[in-house]
């Protein structure tokens, strides 16, 4: 290359530099042009290979038994990974044959051919893992112990029986309440109708064996005037001459009054020491058919007929402490008339002497006070029976006290 203006390479030389030429065997390279060669162009950069997206999918499968097993072990629930390939089976395309269009001619009606149903499209298959998760066995529960048997289920009919029973009980209870309380409040309590003969009690005991099975007169505990009621019942009784009937007093419930309750009911005051000396549960009241009668001049009146014109009454009770009872009766003589005045019918009558006198009957001492004759009086006597029991008899006539003494002395114990 000469100094001075450089030589510009020709177009052929440039092409020859770009395109490589095959070297022939034994050829001699062509000498370079005197002109300086043009620098070669840099090759274009190769494009980076296209990165395909990863279409594979990962799943975590969990089952309830495995979670329960992990929870029992105190571990967090976990599963196992399942990875599916990104390759999907291409959906095959299938041409659906189309039926030729129906031929329609004017003036002619034809039914169109039915369209063929579309062919079934196969579903894509998913690659599942070859190995299935291990099967978790549930813990076996121990069978129930034979010592604690399971109660059989209750029958439904039981509750129905309970309801029916409760209804029957409620109806019965209401009926009893109505009969006892409401009915009695609606209807006035009638006075007991005296019967011709006293109602006999269950079995004779004590004085009942001496005077016979006593009857019973009902005096209500809330009776307005028990004394008047009792006297009316006694007056209505039919008693034969020299006949003695014994009875006791019961309340509206049929329970027998004790003698101290009878005295309280009739408002008869007796000394407390006498009450403590007697057996208030072993007593009888007596009704006697009087035959002895005196006129106002003191003359004895002859009584005829079978029924007594006058009835006399009295009390006979068993004595537990004979000594204390005798002393108490003597002390009570000063006030006994006031205590028994209404019960013995002494109202309006004056005594003959004002003090008690002595009498003897069949060897038994009798204390008496006449009003003013022996057919109406206050007589009392202590009698020891053949059984060894002691009794106190108080009546309102001489004849009735004699009858009571005879009954007590004539009793022969078994």
Task: Give the contacts of 207 (CB within 8 A, at least 6 positions apart).
Answer: 214, 246, 282, 283, 284, 316, 317, 318, 391
DSSP 240: B
Token output for 84: 């599916």
Using alpha carbons only, give the angle 239, 241, 243 rounded to the nearest 5 degrees: 60
pLDDT given for residue 31 in this prediction? 47
Token output for 118: 């579309």
Query: Alpha-carbon distance 215 to 229, whole Å?
Result: 16
51-87 pLDDT, tens digit each:
655 555 666 677 787 778 877 777 766 666 655 555 5
Task: Output the DSSP codes for 63-127.
Answer: -HHHHHHHHHTT-----EEEEE-S--PPPPP-PPPPPPPPP--TT---PPPPPPPPPPPPPPP--
Task: Give the contacts of 331 (CB within 8 A, at least 6 positions apart).
Answer: 271
Task: Give the contacts of 13 (CB within 8 A, at least 6 positions apart).
Answer: 33, 37
101-142 pLDDT, tens digit each:
656 555 555 555 566 655 556 665 555 555 555 555 565 555
For the entire predicted model, the pTM comes to: 0.52
Least confident of 113-122, 126-135, 311-320, 382-391: 126-135
pLDDT given for residue 252 in this prediction? 95
Is pLDDT at 3 greater than 70 in this prediction? no
Closest of 5, 4, 2, 7 to residue 35, by C-alpha: 7
Is pLDDT at 272 greater than 60 in this prediction? yes
Biggest alpha carbon–alpha carbon distance for the chain: 215
Confidence of residue 324 (pLDDT cuts 50, 70, 90): very high
DSSP 223: -
278: three-class secondary structure by DSSP: strand
Query: Alpha-carbon distance 412 to 414, whole Å?
Result: 7
Query: Alpha-carbon distance 314 to 328, whole Å?
Result: 19
Chain-centroid distance of CA 285 in Å reads: 49
266: three-class secondary structure by DSSP: coil
Confidence of residue 161 (pLDDT cuts 50, 70, 90): confident
């Amino acid at each position: 290359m000469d100094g001075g203006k450089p030589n510009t390479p020709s177009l052929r030389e440039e092409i020859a530099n770009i395109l490589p030429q095959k070297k022939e065997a034994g050829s001699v390279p062509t000498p370079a042009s005197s002109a300086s060669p043009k620098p070669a162009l840099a090759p274009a950069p190769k494009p980076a290979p296209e990165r395909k997206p990863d279409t594979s999918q990962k799943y975590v499968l969990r089952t309830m038994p495995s979670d329960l097993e992990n929870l029992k072990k105190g571990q967090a629930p976990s599963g196992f990974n399942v990875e599916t390939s990104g390759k999907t089976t291409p959906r095959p395309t299938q041409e659906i044959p189309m039926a030729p269009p129906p031929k329609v001619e004017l003036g002619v009606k034809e039914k169109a051919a039915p369209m063929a149903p579309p062919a079934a499209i196969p579903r894509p298959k998913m690659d599942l893992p070859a190995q299935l998760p291990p099967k978790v066995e549930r813990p076996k529960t121990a069978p129930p112990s034979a010592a604690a048997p399971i109660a059989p289920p209750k029958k439904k009919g039981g509750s129905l029986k309970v309801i029916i029973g409760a209804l029957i009980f409620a109806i019965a209870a209401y009926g009893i309440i109505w009969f006892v309380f409401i009915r009695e409040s609606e209807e006035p309590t009638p006075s007991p109708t005296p019967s011709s003969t006293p109602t006999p009690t269950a079995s004779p005991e004590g004085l009942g064996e001496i005077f016979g099975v006593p009857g019973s007169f009902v005096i209500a505990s809330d009776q307005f005037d028990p004394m008047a009621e009792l006297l009316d019942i006694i007056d209505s009784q039919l008693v034969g001459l020299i006949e003695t009937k014994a009875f006791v007093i019961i309340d509206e419930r049929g329970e027998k009054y004790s003698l101290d309750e009878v005295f309280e009911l009739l408002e008869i005051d007796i000394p407390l020491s006498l009450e403590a000396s007697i057996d208030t549960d072993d007593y009888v009241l007596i009704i006697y058919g009087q035959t002895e009668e005196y006129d106002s001049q003191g003359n004895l009146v002859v009584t005829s007929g079978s029924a007594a014109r006058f009835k006399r009454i009295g009390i006979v009770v068993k004595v537990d402490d004979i000594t204390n009872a005798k002393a108490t009766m003597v002390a009570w003589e000063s006030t006994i008339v006031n205590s028994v005045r209404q019960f013995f019918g002494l109202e309006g009558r004056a005594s003959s002497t004002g003090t008690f006198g002595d009498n003897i009957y069949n060897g038994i001492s009798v204390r008496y006070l006449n009003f003013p004759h022996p057919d109406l009086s206050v007589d009392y006597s202590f009698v020891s029976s053949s059984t060894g029991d002691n009794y106190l008899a108080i009546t309102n006539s001489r004849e009735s006290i004699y009858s009571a003494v005879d009954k007590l002395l004539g009793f022969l114990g078994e």
